[in-house]
Structure 1
Amino acid sequence: MDMNAKHSETRNHILRTGRIAIAQKGFTALGLAELLRVADVPKGSFYHYFKSKEHFGCIVITEYIEEYAQTLDALLDSSKGTVAQQLLDYFTDWIETQSGDIVSADAPPEARCLVVKLSAEIADLSVEMREALHRGTSELISRLAAIIDKGFTDGSITSDQSSTQLAECLYEVWLGASLLEKLRQDGTSFETALCLSRRLLQ
């Protein structure tokens, strides 16, 4: 393995293990010493790739959003029925992956939505991380809007709202439901969100 490949592998390893730790504990509760321990790297290696813990957090968010956007595109495959049904299937999948509040140590980072995990926690803590989350959620809403446009075309979505307005509404409904589910842990928030989504889409 050449040096560049080794550096890339080390950086990716820190990001992946750190992302899992953040999903388990949150960003503020994860101290740098613990991050170094779970990643099994010395402090010097960490600072070789990241200027600070906050810089590390911004990159975690950015890469998570990029990967999640790819997951969203894969889930909303135009070969799987109407666009409205694809979206409802996507939200049903959201319920299955976001219910409860336990992430196992070997779970993939995608097991829990980091936007849900971090939004309230870091909004007033870090301007840079808040902006990274804002850019990321704006990108995801744009992806949803583009998909909704396809639903207008195939006739499965007939909302009076624009695709952007509908995408924002749906995203806000599910983000709010996910936050409430963390408190209730009984599935009712997701049930309400799914019923509302059906009305908005159909």
Structure 2
Amino acid sequence: MSGKKEEIILIGAELIHEYGYHNVGIKKILDVAQIPKGSFYHYFKSKEDLALCIIDFHINRTKAMFSSVDESKDGLKEFFNMFFNMLRSMDYKKGCPVGNLILELADEKETFRIRLLEWLRFLENGIGHVLKKENIESPESKAAFIVATFEGIIMNTKLEKSDKYFKVFHDHIFNDLLK
């Protein structure tokens, strides 16, 4: 990937995370990136094409974060803490970038829904693999529950502007569900 294309994806990802897909036009992205319109179309066919690249960026970032921790319950705690620390650093604003895209785009186009589903399946499969390795009963079902709970926790955290739900998540997931 070229440096300029990557820069456009990063800027687009940040702007869309902050304002939403429908509230960010190509012009805004180009203005922030300080590039002419023709350059955008050199790298992307359309705003939808850019959105798919942004989803891929988030999938790859999540995969990198997941692969950076041990395949254990402690590794899962560390993985979730990376997300929670990211939310703290944003003063509990914006929420989960992929969760936001799911809410905004999953019903818009099937290509968006399928690509966003890749992120969900990666998390469920990765967590399920760890739970199976840790001999946790019903690993696939519990992994799906953990991911759904995680997204709900992020949404509540955004709403309350507090990390009290991080403790709730850890207490119930790691002390009750996965004991």
CA displacement at 1:73 relative to structure 2: 1.1
Structure 2 gap ranges (5+):
none
Residue equivalent to 2:166: 190
Structure 1 gap ranges (5+):
1-6, 104-111, 153-158
SS in 2 for 1:28: helix
Identity %: 25
CA displacement at 1:102 relative to structure 2: 4.0
Question: Based on CA coordinates, which of the two structures has the bigger radius of gyration?
Answer: 1
Residue equivalent to 2:178: 201
Residue among 80, 101, 114 paired with 1:91: 80
Whether the aligned pair in 2 keeps the contact of 1:27 and 1:118 (CA below 8 Å) is yes
Alpha-carbon distance between aligned partners in 1 of 2:51 and 2:155, rounded to the nearest angstrom: 20
Alpha-carbon distance between aligned partners in 2 of 1:52 and 1:144, rounded to the nearest angstrom: 34
| Residues 43-192 of structure 1 mapped to structure 2, 5 A cutoff | 43-74=37-68, 76-78=69-71, 83-99=72-88, 100-102=91-93, 113-152=96-135, 159-161=136-138, 163-192=139-168
Alpha-carbon distance between aligned partners in 2 of 1:15 and 1:178, rounded to the nearest angstrom: 24
- For normalisation by structure 1, the TM-score amounts to 0.78
- For normalisation by structure 2, the TM-score amounts to 0.87
Alpha-carbon distance between aligned partners in 2 of 1:63 and 1:94, rounded to the nearest angstrom: 16
The count of corresponding residues between Structure 1 and Structure 2 is 176
Whether the aligned pair in 1 keeps the contact of 2:55 and 2:116 (CA below 8 Å) is yes
